[in-house]
Amino acid sequence: MEITEKVAYLKGLAEGMDLDTDKKVGKLLAAVIDVLDDVALELEDIKDEQAELADGLDAVSDDLEDVEDLVFETGEDDEDDGYYYDDLEEDEECYATTCPTCEETIYFDESVLEDGEVICPNCGEKLEFDLDGLEEDADGEDGN
Ligand SMILES: [Zn+2]
């Protein structure tokens, strides 16, 4: 039973008792029931407002989760990218070769070298590498 319903019941009870509100006790009871009535109504208002606040908070919470996902994912990406590019600069060398078909200079990195082939972006010719050969060349230059 809601508090407002209980207060309404008390009101009805008081009326049923034919409470003499001119007498001190009757006056007091009538005043108490009046206050209870006000309290019950205010409580209902507060409940409604709280429900609205809770709904609003849920919406904000959901939005915040989206923002957190974005912020933290982006943050991690930024860090990863930073390290990734550092790694590229430190560990991965860039290579260049000339396409035998169109004589376009093609730039590529170590990962392409490991694949053993690169597609010429100019004419689409597939160039194949001999990784061991390239390494031997490099060693030879260093040795001589
Ligand atoms: Zn080409």
pTM of the entire predicted model: 0.40
> What's the gap in Å between 20 CA and the centre of ligand 1?
108
Ligand 1 midpoint to CA 94 (Å) = 18
Residue 31's nearest CA partner among 21, 41, 39 is 21
CA of residue 126 to ligand 1 center, whole Å: 8
pLDDT one-digit tens code per residue, 38-69: 999 999 999 999 999 999 999 999 999 999 99
Distance (Å) from CA 134 to ligand 1 centroid: 20
CA distances from 143 to 27, 50, 137, 139, 140 (A): 113, 80, 10, 6, 5
Position 143 scores a pLDDT of: 46
pLDDT confidence of residue 136: 47
> Taking ligand 1, which is a single-atom ion, which protein residues have CB atoms under 5 Å away?
99, 101-102, 104, 120, 122-123, 125
Helix axes 3-16, 24-91, angle to 10 degrees: 180
pLDDT tens per residue across span 113-141: 778 888 888 999 888 876 555 554 545 44
132 Cα–ligand 1 center, Å: 23
DSSP H or E stretch at residue 108: strand 105-109
